[in-house]
Amino acid sequence: MVTARSIQLVAGPMNARVRAILIIAAVVLLDRVTKMYIRVHVSPFDLFPVIPGFFNIIHVENPGAAFGMFSETAGQWKTVFLVGVSVVVLIVIAGMLFRKPAAGAAHSALTQTGLALVFGGALGNLWDRAFSENHTVTDFLQFFFGSYEYPSFNAADSAIFCGAALLLIDLWRSRKGTADRGQGTADRGVGSGADS
C-alpha cells in the first residue's frame, strides 16, 4: 500500500538530489560563461575598476591551485597532481551527495547545498585545468583591503568558499543543537533529583 510516508521517503531524497544537480549545473554554467567572457573580452593587461581602490575586473591565468599555490612550480606533474586531487575531491563529495542515506541520517538542506556548491566549483576549476590550452584556471575578480591585495579568484572559487561556509555553519548549528539538547537533559536530571 502506498502511503504519504512512503511517498515522502522516495520523493524527499530525490528532490534533494535534483536540487543538488541543479545547483551544480548553475555553478558550472556561471563559471564557464564568466570565464569565456573574460578570455574573449579582457586581455591579461586590462584592468577595469568597478569600485576604485577596492574591486577590479582583471584577467589572470592561474597555473597553480587556489590563491596561486604551486603557481611557480614547473613541470607536467603539477597539472597531473592538481587534476588528480580535484578528481578525488569530486568523488568523495559525489559519494556524500548522492549515496542513499541511512535511515534517519539524511543530510540537512544546508549541508546538501554546501556540498553541491563545492562540487560545482571544483568541477568548474577542474574543467579549466584539464581542458584549457595551458592547463590554467582563469581568475578575474580582484579585491583590495587597504594596501592588501586579496588573491584573484573566479565564480568557481566563490562557490567553493560559500559552500564551505555553509558546511561550517551547519556543523556549528548541529553541534550547538546537540550541546543544547545535552544541557537540557542534564538540567532535567538535576531538577528531578532535587524534587525527590
Residue 18 lies in a domain: no
CB crowding 101-115: b at 16 or more within 10 Å, else e: eeeeeebeeebbbbb
CB neighbour class for 11 (10 Å; exposed up to 12, middle 13-18, buried from 19): exposed
The number of distinct structural domains making up the chain is 1
Look up the pTM and report it: 0.78
Is the pLDDT assigned to residue 155 strictly greater than 50? Answer: yes
3-state secondary structure of 65: coil
In angstroms, how far is CA 89 from the centroid of its own chain?
A: 11
Residues marked active site are found at: 139, 157
Per-residue pLDDT tens for 162-189? Answer: 999 999 999 998 887 666 655 555 555 5
**Is residue 172 in some structural domain?**
yes
pLDDT digits (tens, 9 = 90+) for 65-76: 766 666 666 667
Residues 85-131 pLDDT 10s: 999 999 999 999 988 766 655 678 899 999 999 999 999 999 999 99
C-beta separation of 78 from 70 below 8 A: yes
Residue 98 lies in a domain: yes
Cell 538540567 sits on residue: 187
* Domain residue limits at 133: 77-181
Is residue 58 within 8 A of residue 64, CB to CB? The reply is no
Helix (H, G, I), strand (E, B) or coil at 145: strand
All 3 cell numbers of residue 75?
613541470
Q: Does 5 fall in a domain?
A: no
Residue 100 lies in a domain: yes
Indicate whether 104 belongs to any domain. yes
**Rounded to an integer, what distance in angstroms lies between the CA atom of residue 57 and that of residue 40?**
14
